[in-house]
């Protein structure tokens, strides 16, 4: 897929809470085709302490209105600066980057997103729904404000929720949600979130022989396979998460699970 370096215009900046926001980005040109799981390298212009671009998942694309949405968690100076962008500000993107989820050969799947890990999952759910693949969504977080976009997800399938403190949905870790008892009824588990969470999901999926794909978020510089900083160990050696990923089947990864 062709990659672009483009200035986009901020058309919305919706604060979900103190920690999360969704930027809507548009252009006078038609946005390129983007696939679920892909990401953009966003330049942070308004902070001299931020040197590198920030890799951010594509959250959703509204082709009718030519808007790309990114969901961002404020974790440091780069994402903090992005949170202050205002409507009509310009932001530079290198995109779309990375691979996509495998949506072939399945009729019934489950998506699991922990906290900001739901970022690539909404666009995935939209695609699965369009392909008439039955989709179940499992969301998890520490507390209610970490459960993001649950109403949006309901458009695409049944939604199950876990919070560590029980303030929303079931109390406990997302990996212990009651829907996980039925994991073997699904043909594939897609998952994104903190690494320890993904490893637990991967271990359960492996044990129950359910196909499992995870989306990794290694720290990276270039995003286009040049710097070789973001590698993960795979069955074929070190591979760049930015070009060979971010989505990997757990069978490719050298995880001790």
Partner 1 sequence: MADLKVKIGALEFKNPVLTASGTFGYGPEFEDFLNIDSLGGIIVKGTTLEARQGNAYPRMAETPAGMLNAVGLQNKGVDAFINDIYSKIKHYNTHIIVNVSGSKLEDYITVVEKLNDLDQIPAIELNISCPNVKQGGMAFGTSCASATEVTKAVRAAYHKTLIVKLSPNVTSIAEIAKAVEDVGADSVSLINTVLGMAIDAESRRPVLSTITGGLSGPCVKPIALRMVWQVSQAVKIPVIGLGGIMNVTDAVEFLLAGATAIQVGTANFIDPAISEKIVHQLDAYCDNHRIRAVKELIGGLIV
Quick one: three-class SS letters along 192-249? ECCHHHHHHHHHHHHHCCCEEEEECCCCCCCCCCCCCCCEEEECCEEEECCCCCCEEE
Q: Does 2 bind partner 1 (CB under 8 A)?
A: yes
Report the nearest approach of partner 1 to the CB of residue 157 (Å): 34
Q: Report residue 49 as tokens.
A: 């302490």
- Strand order across the beta sheet in which 108-114 lies: 170-171, 158-163, 134-141, 108-114, 188-192, 211-215, 247-249
Which residues in the 23-52 window bind partner 1 by CB under 8 A? Answer: 43, 48-52
Integer Cα distance of 221 and 245 in angstroms: 15
Q: Does 231 bind partner 1 (CB under 8 A)?
A: yes
Q: Report residue 70 as tokens.
A: 């990114």
Q: Does 126 bind partner 1 (CB under 8 A)?
A: no
Q: Does 8 bind partner 1 (CB under 8 A)?
A: no
Binding-site member from 144, 218, 249, 255 for partner 1 (CB under 8 A): 218
Which x/- pattern over 52-91 shows residues binding partner 1 (rule: CB under 8 A)? xx--------------------------------------
Q: Does 195 bind partner 1 (CB under 8 A)?
A: no
Residues that bind partner 1 (CB under 8 A): 2-5, 43, 48-53, 94, 218-222, 224-233, 237-238
């Amino acid at each position: 897929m062709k990659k672009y370096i483009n200035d986009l215009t901020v058309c919305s900046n919706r604060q979900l809470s103190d920690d999360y926001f969704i930027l809507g980005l548009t252009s006078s040109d038609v946005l390129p085709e983007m696939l679920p799981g892909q990401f953009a390298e966003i330049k942070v212009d308004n902070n001299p302490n931020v040197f590198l671009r920030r890799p951010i998942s594509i959250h959703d694309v509204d082709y009718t209105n030519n808007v790309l949405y990114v969901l961002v968690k404020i974790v440091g100076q780069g994402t903090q600066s992005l949170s202050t962008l205002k409507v009509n500000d310009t932001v530079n993107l290198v995109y779309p980057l990375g691979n996509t989820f495998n949506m072939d050969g399945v009729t019934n799947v489950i998506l699991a997103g922990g906290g900001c890990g739901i970022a690539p999952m909404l666009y995935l759910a939209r695609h699965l729904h369009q392909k008439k693949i039955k989709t179940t969504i499992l969301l998890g977080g520490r507390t209610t404000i970490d459960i993001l976009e649950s109403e949006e997800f309901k458009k695409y399938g049944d939604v199950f929720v876990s919070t560590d403190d029980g303030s929303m949905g079931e109390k406990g870790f997302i990996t212990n949600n009651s829907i996980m008892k039925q994991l073997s009824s699904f043909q594939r588990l897609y998952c994104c979130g903190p690494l320890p969470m993904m490893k637990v999901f991967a271990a359960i999926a492996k044990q129950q022989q359910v196909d499992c794909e995870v989306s990794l978020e290694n720290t990276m510089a270039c995003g286009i396979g040049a710097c070789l900083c973001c590698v993960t160990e795979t069955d074929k050696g070190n591979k760049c998460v930015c070009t060979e990923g971010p989505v990997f089947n757990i069978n490719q990864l050298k995880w001790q699970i």
